[in-house]
Chains A and B, each alone.
Chain A
């Protein structure tokens, strides 16, 4: 018996050894590759994923999201909920408590004043805060003492985990950014490039659009973490090069967004130096139908505006037939492999909000043809293109320049041609397409085409703001410099009413029901949005890097403090 106990003890000692030896900085150096190089380390001045995620190594919020989409505490003691009294019963206030003894990397204490300052910083009327949406609906922020932050909302807020939760709304140090309020924000180069934070690492050198050198934060709240003493985040190259650097040459330990074609994935994974990590979030590749007329014959300022309805896509049968003719599973196999799955939903996740709509997944070419026949779209002049009342089913299909999108365009064009629809393809350089320049005719907001394809997702786990984008008053047009989010120019008073109802509903089950209903209104009931592929994140990690958990609800570097070297 004694021997057995002793042996057990010895076994335990061995098993616990790595944990016991864990010590800050014991594992040396780690190399991370963000092929889109970070250009600033202040997420409030950039909405670029690369900037937000790199900054999340340094700056943290009160809470964050884990890989399941649940809210976790970071700087806070715990996550406030209605049950623990942190969120008031009427959902109008949330009270966060800071952990005791928190220090910034420069050794000064973290206080509630810093959070209050961050709110003032982002909501300053003269500053262009990229994350202002996270602070919307807040009436005031009070700091009764140095550890307590009370956020009061204008109205009941069913999802109070917006401000200070996740990588997009971290807390800035008031002392450092005091002189950077409003218009001065972007001129504070030192602060924006080398912010002082509470995260596991701190910046030692920042070369814009190239390299960020970091070292372990000496004042990090967990004395045993991070395991790495130094870290380099390098930028440059492309997705394929990044994947190769981890999977084949082993120069890097972690590469972000290594979206490459399925065959390459299989080949690189066979190399055995690393693994691809994938996780599904809310990113959906979709075809958007233009409900307004983009014809070049219309005068500038009237093209693609609500002044003229689309001559052919206004007919729901046409939209439905176009959707039915697509083989989504094939698109996944060709373009994304393990990093994608077919979907019919605009909101594919989290599970609570995902509609059970799967009817679009099997391709139904014959049914689509029959639908157009019965709707009166027939090939009356024998040129192979269906027409009705002198209007031909001829569409311009645009997307950004990207090999997968061009393959998709070619495949979809093939199916639509078979259906009797004439398709002209157009691809536009991504920086122009997504650039948002009101002067360019080729942006996705201007939508000077009949249909367009791109991917979009929503931040966090609550789809309400995302679904609210399809309200009538968010239609882009000349009057708002083409900055609206309702790309399809979809407008339905019943939908707007649902959005309003959801914003006033707190009960989760009811919210879920509303979200599903709105999702269905946009997809299977109207075919205004034609979702194609639910795209996961695909990143590559070396086999020698341990502790990596891919998180699609927060930044990918959310748990860099837990990373370690596998020996």
Chain B
């Protein structure tokens, strides 16, 4: 009997997850990099106030300001029309990150929903998985073409060219990239639902909804996280492909993908033109991957606390 016994304070779930997450060095580094990138694109334009689409109206000055190497006036140099690359990187990043994140959320939401439904409810399995196969078999590009053609004009007229295109693109990418996560989730759910703790939960009369939310979902978080991180990268690239084909944003609307495509032509003469957007995309993808890795460890009840 001693008085020194300290009863540990009850720990909250989020605290547990954060503690576990912090131990993952890569994930922390990723988080810092991603936070920096987000700050760069969100706060940056308030500090660096050059218009990304500004072209010098005076012809002689404009010719002189093309393809400049980094200077104090243009820290990342200028492009073939003398537009400031730093401002373009910020404006482009905002769009690319937003497209990547939103499209990924849509795709993960659909994928997880379909996967859990198919895995958990036997009756739905056949139908849902055949639907998944159907979507997998659909060629992505023609589908996007049709989508853009049918709804493009109307949505653009409704919400303006930028917001309309944004909505259309994230929707199009979201609904065409959920299939892999659905399959992975289904497989995991099939295995999990035969496990003892799920059986136990069912035997005391827990409704399906709660079994899924409470017992199954936390256990399938890790594959979902992996699929999500890969999804962001895929969405950023798909967006640039769409814009390149003329189905995405207007051509003067910078995104990282478009900056990269524009730069390819000048790669040999001005390697920085592809380096900056390439670096930004790679850093985003890498950091999101690491964060996903850390989150998976932190969220998985079997790994956490070991």
Contact = CB atoms under 8 A, between A and B. Distances in A.
A413 B153 contact: no
Interface string A403-423: 100110111011100100000
A72 interface: no
B176 interface: no
Contact of A425 (B154, B245, B252, B268): B252
B151 to A, nearest CB: 12
Interface size range of chain B in the complex: 20 to 34
Contacts of B55: 410-411, 414
A387 interface: no
B63 A333 contact: yes
Contacts of B83: 410
> A264, A406, A425 — which one has the most chain B CB atoms within 10 A of its CB?
A406
A426 B251 contact: yes
B161 A411 contact: no
A264 B55 CA distance: 22
Nearest to A410: B252
A261 B80 contact: yes
B265 A413 contact: no
Contact of A401 (B154, B244, B250): B244
B59 A426 contact: no
Interface in B162-200: none
B250 A426 contact: yes
> B154, B262, B268 — which one has the most chain A CB atoms within 10 A of its CB?
B268
B157 interface: yes
A560 to B, nearest CB: 30
A205 B266 CA distance: 37
A471 to B, nearest CB: 30
A440 interface: yes
Interface in B25-60: 53, 55, 57, 59
B80 A334 contact: yes
Contacts of B149: 440-442
A151 to B, nearest CB: 45
Interface string A314-357: 00000000000001011001100000000000000000000000
B252 A267 contact: no
Contacts of B153: 296, 441, 448
A43 to B, nearest CB: 30
Interface stretch (A53-61, A206-214, A427-435): A427-435
A92 interface: no
Contacts of A296: 153-154, 157
A363 interface: yes
B40 to A, nearest CB: 24
A442 B55 CA distance: 28
B269 interface: yes
Nearest to A398: B246
B250 A425 contact: yes
A126 interface: no
Nearest to A295: B157
Contacts of A373: none
Contact of A334 (B81, B157, B247, B266): B81
21 contacts: A261-B266, A264-B265, A264-B268, A327-B59, A330-B62, A330-B63, A334-B66, A334-B80, A401-B245, A406-B251, A409-B251, A409-B252, A410-B252, A425-B252, A426-B251, A428-B246, A429-B246, A433-B246, A441-B149, A441-B153, A448-B153
Given A264-B269, A401-B246, A426-B251, 7 more contacts: A330-B62, A334-B66, A334-B81, A426-B246, A429-B245, A432-B246, A448-B153
**Sorted from nearest, which 9 A-B pairs have the closest CB atoms?**
A428-B246, A414-B55, A425-B250, A427-B246, A330-B59, A427-B251, A406-B251, A429-B245, A296-B153
Interface of B: 53, 55, 57, 59, 62-63, 66-67, 80-81, 83, 149, 153-154, 157, 161, 244-247, 250-252, 262, 265-266, 268-269
Interface of A: 240, 260-261, 263-264, 267, 296-297, 327, 329-330, 333-334, 363, 400-401, 403, 406-407, 409-411, 413-415, 418, 424-429, 432-433, 440-442, 448
